[in-house]
Amino acid sequence: MRCGLIGERLGHSFSKEIHQQFGKYGYDLIELAPEELESFIMSGDFDGLNVTIPYKQTVMQYLDEISDLASEAGAVNTVVNRDGKLTGYNTDCGGMKMLIERMGIDLKGKKAFIAGSGGTSRTAAAVCKSLGAKETVRASRSGRNGAVTYEEAYRICSDAAILINTTPAGMYPDTDSVPFDIDRFDNPEGVLDVIYNPLNTRLIQKARQKGIKAENGLYMLVGQAVLSSEFFTGTKADEGITEKIYQSLLEEKQNIVLTGMPGCGKSTLGKMLAERLGRDMIETDEVIAREAGISIKEIFAKHGERYFRDLESEVIKRYAVRNGLVISTGGGAVLRKENVDALRMNGVVVFIDRALDKMKPSSDRPLSDDRSKLERLYEERYAIYKEAADIIVKTDGTKEDSAERLWEALQ
């Protein structure tokens, strides 16, 4: 069987990795310019296709049959070729429904706010309706295509139970963008962002900071892929396969970020962890020194701490958007909130909490090159490390014991 994903730009898609785990068919990423879409579809040179931006609606005109669910959603993301007859389905609906149910959000009799006016926004509206929402409001900047403007949405839908982003705002490489102002809503129960690259967009981070349940689109992506595979093969997927693939993919894509005091053992533990996992390791201080052509101590002496912190933020922002790394940060990286937010986009932040009496000053660390400086830094930063951390690992023993504690904490 020849299957694949069609879209205009697919460089950061996870779909091939997911479908390969089914082990039942070949799967390719097929980038098509708009003028190439019709000839490719009409050639029928495939058994099954997934369809992504910007072709979920355009592809419908070339199909022989469209399922009722896809017609209601106004978008097709799965096409099956059965002896030359092309049938379109929408498995995004099923994937999104699975995610909302997994989040534990009951929409019966409640409002849903949806950012976007494209095919995925109509999919979200159809899903919310199927889950009993009494009203769905779609919003866009222009307010066209059946949507209202964001200002109108804030006025008529501030009491929405769920906020769903279906726009590309916040997606790599535009990771600093947010699609709407979450503070304009009263008390939402959950936020769903269909973006999965990065794993935690600015929108998701802001929601979690406010104590709101928030999830990215990775589980939805896996769920729709499982449903698509059933259409491709005509067989039911194994029970529990969605959760299994989701957890595997999340573990593979998520960075592990080590923070902590100078001399706490981040570099040593990071190297041991990277070797155990077969991952690349990045030491931000090492990258800064290499690119500057001088040591960290010399950077501080010649240019000052502010200059160093700016270099540090640039390096963190560059590597934080990558996947599957072990990242060892400098001792002061967490002092800037922008660094912590960037590191959390694709990473779990681990504080290596080593007791002060187990750490020693070092001449190559300008802010902790004597005992009094080290003690002062510890007092100033300890609470900041704890606040920034998703996981805290106490490592007062040998490096082998500390590495094992770190490993256990990540399981």
**Catalytic residue positions, numbered:** 56
Which residue matches tokens 């390096």? 315
CB contact set of 315 (below 8 Å; sequence gap of 6+): 284, 287, 288, 291
What is the Cα–Cα distance from 114 to 120, expressed in whole angstroms? 10
Count Cβ atoms within 10 A of the Cβ of residue 58 and give its class: 0-12 exposed, 13-18 middle, 19 or more buried: middle
Separation of alpha carbons 353 and 257, rounded Å: 14
As a whole number of angstroms, the distance between CA 201 and CA 238 comes to: 31
Question: Measured between alpha carbons, how far is 386 from 2 in angstroms, rounded to an integer?
Answer: 50
Peptide bond into 366 cis (omega under 30): no
Tokens found for residue 290: 């290499």
- Are 362 and 384 a contacting pair, CB within 8 Å? no
Q: Is 406 helix (H, G, I), strand (E, B) or coil?
A: helix
Q: What 8-state DSSP symbol labels residue 374? A: H
What's the gap between Cα 18 and its chain centre?
15
